[in-house]
Amino acid sequence: MRIQKKTFLIFLMPLLAFTVAHKFYISVTNVGYSEKDKAIQITTRVFLDDMNAVLKARYDIDSKLGTKKESDVDREYLEKYLRTKFLVEIDGNPKDYTILGKKYDTDMIICYLEVPNVELSKVSSIAIQNEILTDIYDEQQNVVHLKINGKKKSFVLLKSDTKGMLNL
């Protein structure tokens, strides 16, 4: 009887380990300034499966980003999603940004954004509002690192606190 209990526990333990496994919901964004280009340059990294999931949930499209079946529609909705969930403000005013491109790195999508024509000497604050994936994952954390003009600041933005600002 005792051997049966031990054997049962040995088989049960691995099954329990998988039921408590938890996935992390995180993105990382780096914001800097290019003196040469006179532009705020932004790189944001998001898990690819999460981005495909949010496009399905939000727009009801079966997105295939990062695969050979990726379509123009997938890219169009990715841009639409980014523009509604990722905002840049300079001195309290919303700024348009250009999506320069994207690339894939294993299980991540890396998006390159740029706010052109920024005269840094006339800027007193830069704010980032990042709500990427917070509409489907309550646990989503969007880490933002700002490094501009010798000043650094990092934020962990959550569903309840989606905006961070660097005063210059």
Identify whether 160 is part of a domain.
yes
The tens digit of pLDDT for each residue in 67-107 reads 999 999 999 999 999 999 999 999 999 999 999 999 999 89
How many residues are listed for the chain in this entry? 168
CA atoms of 42 and 118, how far apart (whole Å): 13
Task: Return the pLDDT at 149.
Answer: 87
Judge whether residue 59 has pLDDT over 90: yes
Identify whether 12 is part of a domain.
no
Q: 34 - beta bridge partners? A: 39
Identify whether 146 is part of a domain.
yes
pLDDT confidence bin for 5, thresholds 50/70/90: low
Residue carrying structure tokens 């501009």: 148
The tens digit of pLDDT for each residue in 101-133 reads 999 998 999 999 999 999 999 999 999 999 999
Identify whether 113 is part of a domain.
yes
Domain extent, residue 88, equals 23-167
Judge whether residue 14 has pLDDT over 70: no
Identify whether 7 is part of a domain.
no
The tens digit of pLDDT for each residue in 139-150 reads 999 999 999 988
How many domains are contained in the chain?
A: 1
Contact predicate 65/82, CB 8 Å? no
Identify whether 14 is part of a domain.
no
Identify whether 1 is part of a domain.
no
Please, what is the average pLDDT of the chain? Answer: 88
Judge whether residue 15 has pLDDT over 60: no
Identify whether 95 is part of a domain.
yes
pLDDT confidence bin for 168, thresholds 50/70/90: confident
Percent of the chain with pLDDT over 90: 80
Do the strands 26-34 and 98-105 form a parallel or antiparallel pair, or are they unpaired? Answer: unpaired
pLDDT confidence bin for 4, thresholds 50/70/90: low
CA atoms of 77 and 44, how far apart (whole Å): 17
